[in-house]
Structure 1
Amino acid sequence: MSDIDLIERVLAGNDHAFRLLVEKYRNDVFRTIFAILRDSKEAEDASQEVFMKLYNSLSQYENQGFKTWMTRIAVNHAIDVKRKQERRREDVVGALEQQELGTPRDSVEKEVIAFDQRRLVQKKLNEVPENYREVIYGFYIEEKSYQQMAEEQNVQVKTIETKLYRARNWMKRNWKEDDFS
């Protein structure tokens, strides 16, 4: 059965036809989203959200290549999810900075130095390759356990240990202590 036939049936109220579309394209949608998010749990959630968007906007589809249309929706949604993740990380860092600034200090000079150091650490963290940045951020900033990070990333604990080991080696090779003073 062609995509157009299935779409017409969905628009006529046949939910089974939509299930057939989902089954036909779920791997394509997942791979597209995973390529952007690099997290299988997040990609699964985003895939479900994409199919809900597809279902709700099928009436707007204009028979111009269903797979292309669907992929465009998936890519845009994955980019939105990634932006939200980045904003959450920035919010966490901002909240930590706010906590630090809110505590009593001996002098304004110490506050300025502490703020500059946090900003420098954040800048340096952005230099770390993306696949290492996530484990460094999770372990050192968010203080998550290996187990928590493994569950979130849907990988083995050993994978997290290896990533963290490689991330530390990367930092040793690429950073000097003078970079932080």
Structure 2
Amino acid sequence: MKAKEKISEYSEENLLRTFTESGDTVFLGELYRRYIPLVYGLCLKYLNQKEAAQDAVMDIFGVLADKVPQYEIKNFNTWLYSVAKNHCLHVLRKDKNVSMVNIEDVLVENQAILTLTDKPQSQEEMEALSYCMDTLPEEQKRSIQYFFYDEKSYADIVDLTGYALSKVKSYIQNGKRNLKSCMIKVLKLNPER
């Protein structure tokens, strides 16, 4: 019990390791407590309702107790962000009454990359997109494929590829830029368009 008395002095790594080894949720609770304001902010952003965000914060703790022992977590902060975001997206899919305003940016990004002109894509545009996808570096191609075509979340892509979350975001951003540049060349479009 002496170790628990000074639990607030434990590093994140010690808390994570001790919880994984012992299964004692007191250690996980202390670790999670440090991130509650960030998790709440993320949940509020996605769910757009205080009560729903508060419920999600509590639900996520239960999810963590089950998931943490199943993963080798290198960066708890990044991993927790992915878990919390996936939980919020799951809540949004399940509860149609929750506003989805705050995730429109993802949908807009999807449309921006797959429809580079204002009109519906022609056969020529589809062929150009297919050609340009093949010119991307493998990491960008896989990340773009999973995110836009397979509608996977960042966390899903991390799980599927083993890439770090920051790398997945970078691959998608750079891949989008490279695709747009390639399509402009292939279709001989005015870049201002």
TM-score range (shorter-chain normalised) is 0.3 to 0.5
Compare CA radii of gyration and give the structure with the larger one: 1
TM-score computed with the length of structure 1 as normaliser: 0.46
TM-score computed with the length of structure 2 as normaliser: 0.43
- Bigger helix share: 1
